[in-house]
Amino acid sequence: MLEPFWFVPDWPPALGELVAFGTLLLAGLIGGEGLHRLLSLPRITGYVLAGIALGPECLGVVRAPLLDESRLIVDLALGLIMFELGARFDAAWFARNRWLFIAALGESLGAFFAIYAGLLWLGYTPLLAGCAAAVGTATSPAVVLLVAHEQRASGQITERMLLFTAVNCATAFVALMLFLPLLHLEHRADWRSALLHPMYLLFGAALLGYLACRLMLWLARWLGKREDRQFVLLVAAVILLVGLARAVEVTVVVALLSFGMLARNLDRDHVLVPLQFGYAGQLLFVVLFVITGASLDFSLLGPAAAVAAAFIVLRFLGKAAAILAFARLSGLRPGGAGLLSVALLPMSGLAVIMVWDTAVLFPSFGMELAALVLSAVAILELFGPLATQAALRLAGEAGAEPPK
Amino acid sequence: MNDMTFKASTGPSMGVELELQLVRAHDYDLAHEAGDLLVRLGKRKLKGEVKPEITQSMIELNTSVHLRHAGLRAELEEMREAVAADAGMLNLRVSGGGAHPFHDWNDRRIYQTERFEAFLERYGYLAKQFTVFGQHVHLGCPDGDAAVYLVHVLTRYVPHFIALSAASPFYQGRDTSFQSSRLTAISAFPLAGHMPFVPDWEAFVGYFRSMQEYGVAASMKDFYWDIRPKPEYGTVEIRVFDTPLSVARAAQLAAYAQAIAAWHLAERPRQPAQEAYLVNGFNRFEACRFGYRGEMIDAWERRKKMIGEDILDTVAMVMPHARHLECAEALAQLAGDVRRDHCDADWLRARLSQAGSLADVVRAASDRWAAAD
């Protein structure tokens, strides 16, 4: 006797990760485009809001396993961004305009010391204040790059925003590494590992970046000047670099950043074609920001709101003071300093990564750092893109929307 | 502006206007930073002027008035260095060439001044497509009648000027197969072309007044002719040159035009002939398309000749005047390039086949502009 075959699955069906991932992408797309059309907000803000809505604290569509599975895409998106940002680090420009380098370094140090001093004054320990200040030094590479891209921005404020971001990201990591020995000693490691570990993290990453750069230049020469092939090459190099950096436990972001910087400045025969993000890039960036939104932690915002506000204000004042001080000498037009300072406001995923990298090594300290910094990140995640967009538009550097 | 009194110039003077490309260092597309650069350049004390042009991607160098090639060349060199120094502070590159090889005209931003706003309003996409880069040479004339005469007889040399300066083989990302694609963008304007065949200055002023009454043109600026009189400067302005890739070439081109003008004004070897305008379209096309290797029709002698050959004959003919004007060597260099079949358009094409991308072509062109040669 034949058994009837019951082909309808149990109700409700078990929806897999693919459904969740598709929902994530769709929500990001609709959120970004909808807010852009309704309120002329940066699309990034819409992606982030969609992420918050889907995140564990609201609808719960995006949960921890999905966050893990989309890791490859997030890494790749961040990798491309760090590479492109590194590629905007133009050593030749600094050689022609020394004051610009001093201004860029001043901007980083201004933010660092303003936050550091402010937090000390608020009663935080030097170690916590220092690490928080290091995290706050960096501007979000993803936000500035993508807002500039979306606005088709081009001009001095745009160029300097990207250049300063490259410098302040590098400075932020170096600063964080300088505090690492102190953290180690506080946690009773011996002085040798306290000294060697940060050097390993930093120089190991830079070495990997250098090797990736050599590989890329060598293969790009062989491939020739074809944008499509070189894009695949870059994606491969980025994934490989992230994987290797993680395998040997060096700082992934530093590896990517040095990869971009070296590729730009060692490409003497100009074998690389300028990177175009294209459709593939768009896809990656929607995922990146929806996931970032879903991982934002607003639970700490209540008690820490005042500190977060102080953090943001100090950071802005530190950056603005240094930019203003060197504006004329570095050849910035009058009125440009204010706009550049506003454009450099965003904080984002990079700050989260810096915090979690620290938390992996020192869990309890990491939690304290997270409580201090991540509320500010959550606020700037929402308002940073707006600030950058407004600054670029006021600077007259935003282009027209591409024809539909 | 509408005072049509012709201001007399003394001697065979000349001046140059040069439109230059501003490009970004990271991808060699056109930049939008003319404003920032001009603010910096405004603080320098230069004999000539640096002015905004229609888009944020362009600046224009205007030299002062010169009688000799050497002085003109030195002033251009001085301006080139000033621009290079200030552009370097802003990480901009400067390049010659008649057109940017791959920019998207949709991306161009019009410089925010009233005249240009009106220009955009009136001409729409033509205004953005007008992002082409030319060299204008002004030649001093003693009076309006001489200016009218000179415009008519210089028309014969339009193919020379085009072929010698041609530096826009690429446009919107493609090899156009033309040596100069720039002039095609200008031909689209309603008042492009040439001056009507009028016998003297009085007749020309009559023509201009009636165009004003019809409402076709408000001022002389509305005429985009290849060669036009400029009464307030006391000059005839030749506008068909592409901006060459080097300052040296720009000065040589001006000297060549100066020598031809001096010859004609002194000896009047030809009388104006309406036939010159009958063959002008053909000559102009041949020069844009084929450069030295194109053919031109001499309306006076009624025969066809290779443009390159005619340039060499003309250089020989004007040599006595060139020696007098101390520009014999500059003309000899131009003639040498014609004999060797060297021109900027071919140089740009060679960079593409050597380096593989149009961004490399722009980089090479900006390196060449930056090097004093």
Q: Is B372 exposed, middle or buried (0-12, 13-18, 19+ CB in 10 A)?
A: exposed
Candidates B26, B31, B90; nearest CB to A274: B26
Q: Is B267 exposed, middle or buried (0-12, 13-18, 19+ CB in 10 A)?
A: exposed
The pLDDT score that the predictor gives to residue A143 is 94
pTM of the complete model: 0.89
- Cβ B49 vs Cβ B78: under 8 Å: no
Closest residue in A to B28 (Cα) is: A274
Q: CA of B168, closest CA in chain A: separation in Å?
A: 22
Q: Please report whether residue B373 resides in a domain.
A: no
Averaged pLDDT score across all residues of chain A: 88
More confident residue, A154 or B1: A154
Question: Which residues touch A133 (CB under 8 Å, ≥6 apart)?
Answer: A111, A112, A113, A115, A116, A119, A175
For residue B62, the cross-strand partners are B17, B49
Q: CA of B36, closest CA in chain A: separation in Å?
A: 6
- The encoded tokens of residue B322 equal 């060139």
Domains and CATH numbers, chain A: 17-394 (1.20.1530.20)
Q: CA of B150, closest CA in chain A: separation in Å?
A: 43
Q: What phi and psi, each to the nearest 5 degrees, are found at residue B234?
A: 70, 40
Q: CA of B33, closest CA in chain A: separation in Å?
A: 6
Candidates B40, B89, B107; nearest CB to A399: B107
Q: Which of B11, B27, B318, B43 is nearest to B156 (CA)?
A: B318
Q: Please report whether residue B271 resides in a domain.
A: yes
Q: What phi and psi, each to the nearest 5 degrees, are found at residue A392?
A: -65, -35
Collect all residues of chain A within an 8 Å Cβ-Cβ radius of residue B357: 225, 273
Q: Does B35 contact A88 at a Cβ distance shorter than 8 Å? A: no
Question: Which residues touch B205 (CB under 8 Å, ≥6 apart)?
Answer: B4, B144
Collect all residues of chain B within an 8 Å Cβ-Cβ radius of residue A90: 25-26, 91
Q: Which of B23, B259, B276 is nearest to B131 (CA)?
A: B23
pLDDT tens figures, A366-379: 888 888 888 888 88
Question: Which residues touch A219 (CB under 8 Å, ≥6 apart)?
Answer: A233
- Cβ B22 vs Cβ B94: under 8 Å: yes
Q: Does A154 contact B360 at a Cβ distance shorter than 8 Å? A: no
Collect all residues of chain A within an 8 Å Cβ-Cβ radius of residue B40: 331
Please tell me the distance from the alpha carbon of residue B119 to that of residue B113, in angstroms, as a whole number: 10
The pLDDT score that the predictor gives to residue B112 is 64
Peptide bond into B320 cis (omega under 30): no
Q: Does A333 contact B360 at a Cβ distance shorter than 8 Å? A: no
Q: Does A155 contact B88 at a Cβ distance shorter than 8 Å? A: no
List residues in chain B touching A: CB distance below 8 A. 24-28, 31-33, 35-36, 39-40, 86, 88-91, 106-107, 109, 112, 355-357, 359-360, 363
Candidates B26, B36, B109; nearest CB to A156: B36
Query: Which of A64-73, A187-196, A276-285 has the lowest average pLDDT?
Result: A64-73
Collect all residues of chain B within an 8 Å Cβ-Cβ radius of residue A87: 26
Instruction: Output DSSP code: residue B243.
Output: P
Q: Does B89 contact A97 at a Cβ distance shorter than 8 Å? A: yes
Collect all residues of chain A within an 8 Å Cβ-Cβ radius of residue B359: 273-274
Q: CA of A124, closest CA in chain B: separation in Å?
A: 41
The pLDDT score that the predictor gives to residue A404 is 42
Q: Does B91 contact A159 at a Cβ distance shorter than 8 Å? A: yes
Please tell me the distance from the alpha carbon of residue B373 to that of residue B366, in angstroms, as a whole number: 13
Closest residue in A to B88 (Cα) is: A96
Q: Does B32 contact A333 at a Cβ distance shorter than 8 Å? A: no
Closest residue in B to A151 (Cα) is: B107
Candidates A155, A274, A402; nearest CB to B32: A155
The pLDDT score that the predictor gives to residue A403 is 44
Q: Please report whether residue B244 resides in a domain.
A: yes
More confident residue, A193 or A171: A171
Instruction: Output DSSP code: residue B180.
Output: B
- Cβ B231 vs Cβ B4: under 8 Å: yes
Q: Does A331 contact B90 at a Cβ distance shorter than 8 Å? A: yes
Q: What is the DSSP string of A199-233?
A: HHHHHHHHHHHHHHHHHHHHHHHHH-S-HHHHHHH
Average pLDDT over residues A300-324: 88
Collect all residues of chain A within an 8 Å Cβ-Cβ radius of residue B57: none
Average pLDDT over residues A103-130: 94
Candidates A97, A333, A403; nearest CB to B39: A333
Question: Which residues touch B160 (CB under 8 Å, ≥6 apart)?
Answer: B256, B287, B307, B310, B311, B314
Please tell me the distance from the alpha carbon of residue B291 to that of residue B162, in angstroms, as a whole number: 7
Q: CA of A226, closest CA in chain B: separation in Å?
A: 9
Q: Does A224 contact B356 at a Cβ distance shorter than 8 Å? A: yes
The pLDDT score that the predictor gives to residue A24 is 86
* Dihedral of alpha carbons A257, A261, A266, A267, sign: positive
Candidates B27, B90, B107; nearest CB to A156: B90
Report the residue of A270, A276, A329, A332 to disrupt the B interface, i.e. the one with the largest count of B CBs within 10 Å.
A270
For residue A113, the cross-strand partners are none
Closest residue in A to B359 (Cα) is: A273
How many other CB atoms are found less than 10 A from the CB of residue A219?
Answer: 15
Q: Please report whether residue B84 resides in a domain.
A: yes
Q: CA of A113, closest CA in chain B: separation in Å?
A: 28
pLDDT tens figures, A20-33: 888 888 999 999 99
Q: Please report whether residue B5 resides in a domain.
A: no
C-alpha distances in angstroms, B233 versus A178, A321, B16, B230, B237?
Answer: 67, 49, 12, 6, 10
Closest residue in B to A276 (Cα) is: B27
Judge whether residue A393 has pLDDT over 80.
yes
Q: Does A331 contact B24 at a Cβ distance shorter than 8 Å? A: no
Return the axis-axis angle of helices A363-394 and A126-137, rounded to nearest 10°.
30
Element (H, E) at B137: strand B134-140
Closest residue in B to A153 (Cα) is: B32
Judge whether residue A140 has pLDDT over 50.
yes
More confident residue, B110 or A44: A44
Give residue for tokens 């200055």. B201
The pLDDT score that the predictor gives to residue A183 is 85
Please tell me the distance from the alpha carbon of residue B331 to that of residue B316, in angstroms, as a whole number: 9
Give residue for tokens 């009507």. B196
C-alpha distances in angstroms, B265 versus A181, B141, B150, B312, B328?
Answer: 84, 9, 7, 20, 18
Candidates B36, B91, B356; nearest CB to A225: B356
Closest residue in A to B36 (Cα) is: A333
Element (H, E) at B366: helix B358-370
Q: Please report whether residue B3 resides in a domain.
A: no
Q: Does B25 contact A92 at a Cβ distance shorter than 8 Å? A: yes
For residue B136, the cross-strand partners are B17
- The encoded tokens of residue B241 equal 């040159």
Q: Does B107 contact A155 at a Cβ distance shorter than 8 Å? A: no
Question: What is the pLDDT confidence band of residue A1, given thresholds at 50, 70 and 90?
Answer: low
Collect all residues of chain A within an 8 Å Cβ-Cβ radius of residue B86: 331
Flag residues of chain B having pLDDT under 50.
1
CATH number of the domain encompassing residue B196: 3.30.590.20
SS3 content of chain B, % helix, strand, coil (to 5): 50, 20, 30
Q: Is A62 left (phi over 0), alpha (psi -120 to 50) or beta?
A: beta
Q: Is B64 exposed, middle or buried (0-12, 13-18, 19+ CB in 10 A)?
A: middle
Contacts 24+ apart (CB under 8 A), B306-313: B307/B159, B307/B160, B307/B163, B307/B283, B308/B163, B308/B338, B308/B341, B310/B159, B310/B160, B311/B160, B311/B163, B311/B164, B311/B335, B311/B338, B312/B338, B312/B339
Judge whether residue A145 has pLDDT over 50.
yes
Note the helical H segments in A267-327. Answer: 278-294, 301-326
- Cβ B240 vs Cβ B154: under 8 Å: no
Please tell me the distance from the alpha carbon of residue A140 to that of residue A352, in angstroms, as a whole number: 10
Contacts 24+ apart (CB under 8 A), A265-268: A265/A89, A265/A90, A265/A91, A265/A92, A266/A213, A266/A217, A267/A217
Closest residue in A to B112 (Cα) is: A396
How many domains does chain B divide into?
Answer: 1
Provide the domain limits for residue B165. 14-365
- The encoded tokens of residue B283 equal 């000559």
Collect all residues of chain A within an 8 Å Cβ-Cβ radius of residue B90: 97, 156, 331
Q: What is the DSSP string of B32-84?
A: S-HHHHHHHHTTS--SSEEEE-SBTTEEEEE---BSSHHHHHHHHHHHHHHHH
Q: Which of B156, B152, B219 is nearest to B191 (CA)?
A: B219
Q: Please report whether residue B99 resides in a domain.
A: yes
Q: What value, to the nearest 5°, has the Cα angle with vertex A207 and ends A202 and A213?
A: 125
Q: How many Cβ pairs within 8 Å bridge chains A and B?
A: 60
Judge whether residue A353 has pLDDT over 80.
yes
Q: CA of A344, closest CA in chain B: separation in Å?
A: 19
What 3-state class would DSSP assign to A390?
Answer: helix
- The encoded tokens of residue A196 equal 């060697």
Q: Pairing relation of β-strands B192-193 and B224-225?
A: parallel
The pLDDT score that the predictor gives to residue B356 is 81
Please tell me the distance from the alpha carbon of residue A65 to that of residue B255, in angstroms, as a whole number: 75
Report the residue of B26, B43, B360 to disrupt the A interface, i.e. the one with the largest count of A CBs within 10 Å.
B26
Q: Please report whether residue B275 resides in a domain.
A: yes
Closest residue in A to B39 (Cα) is: A333
The pLDDT score that the predictor gives to residue A59 is 80
Q: Does A96 contact B91 at a Cβ distance shorter than 8 Å? A: yes
Q: Where are the beta strands (DSSP E) in B178-323?
A: 192-193, 224-225, 227-230, 235-242, 295-298, 303-306
Q: Does B40 contact A93 at a Cβ distance shorter than 8 Å? A: no
Please tell me the distance from the alpha carbon of residue A345 to that of residue A312, in angstroms, as a whole number: 8
Residue B240 Cα to chain centre, angstroms: 5
The pLDDT score that the predictor gives to residue A68 is 72
- Cβ A50 vs Cβ A290: under 8 Å: yes
In chain A, what's the furthest Cα-to-Cα distance? 92
The pLDDT score that the predictor gives to residue A400 is 65
Please tell me the distance from the alpha carbon of residue B307 to that of residue B314, in angstroms, as a whole number: 10
Q: Pairing relation of β-strands B58-62 and B14-24?
A: antiparallel
Report the residue of A88, A145, A159 to disrupt the B interface, i.e. the one with the largest count of B CBs within 10 Å.
A159
